């Protein structure tokens, strides 16, 4: 038994040192080379400072709506609802989101609503939406802001972020950046 305990204690000590000192320091060091030294991307719009990499709540009809949040966009408590697709409460919540979206977008059919407009992400703080989620809102915004739909489609194309090195992940749009560009377009 002695032959197993001593190596286990040594391995535990080495792992504690690695995961509590060396690894966090390495991640911190790498973050220093990123924009804003790993402190997030801060945008200023209309006198307000906001983090572009944390989801924001947009529910006004004149803006592109963001993905719902299970944590009410509270960055101090990131997390999902942890409710499965068979949970009745969750299904009612998603149906309420669908109904609200259809009321505000009467030209859209239920089958055209992208899933990311009615379900929260795993973190509850996803700042992005799919290209389809942005395009499905064009008619509403065009009508309210009196902007040609083609101009809005062009704005969406300009704000679309391509997959990492063309391979990893889907195309996506940062909703905050898109809405800031929309306000600038309207001025």
Residues 6 or more apart from 122 whose CB is under 8 A from it? 80
Find the helix packing angle between 175-186 and 138-145, rounded to 10°. Answer: 30
Is the overall model pTM greater than 0.95, yes or no? no
Where the chain has pLDDT below 70, the residues are 186-187
Query: 4-22 pLDDT, tens per residue?
Result: 898 999 999 999 999 999 9
Dihedrals φ, ψ of 86, to 5°?
A: -105, 0
Residue 137 has what pLDDT?
95
**DSSP category for residue 3:** H
Tell which residue, 99, 122, 121, has the closest CA to residue 175. 121
* H or E segment to which residue 185 belongs: helix 175-186
């Amino acid at each position: 038994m002695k032959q197993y305990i001593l190596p286990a204690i040594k391995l535990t000590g080495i792992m504690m040192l690695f995961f509590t000192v060396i690894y966090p320091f390495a991640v911190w060091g790498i973050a220093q080379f990123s924009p804003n030294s790993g402190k997030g991307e801060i945008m200023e719009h209309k006198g307000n400072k906001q983090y572009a990499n944390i989801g924001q709540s947009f529910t006004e009809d004149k803006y592109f709506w963001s993905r719902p949040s299970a944590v009410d966009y509270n960055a101090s408590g990131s997390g999902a609802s942890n409710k499965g697709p068979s949970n009745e409460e969750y299904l009612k919540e998603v149906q309420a989101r669908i109904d609200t979206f259809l009321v505000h977008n009467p030209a859209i059919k239920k089958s055209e609503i992208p899933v990311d407009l009615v379900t929260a992400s795993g973190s509850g703080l996803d700042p992005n939406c799919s290209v389809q989620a942005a395009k499905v809102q064009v008619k509403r915004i065009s009508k309210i802001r009196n902007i040609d739909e083609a101009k809005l489609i062009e704005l969406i194309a300009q704000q679309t972020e391509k997959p990492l090195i063309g391979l990893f992940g889907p195309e996506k749009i940062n909703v905050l950046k898109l809405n800031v560009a929309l306000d600038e377009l309207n001025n």
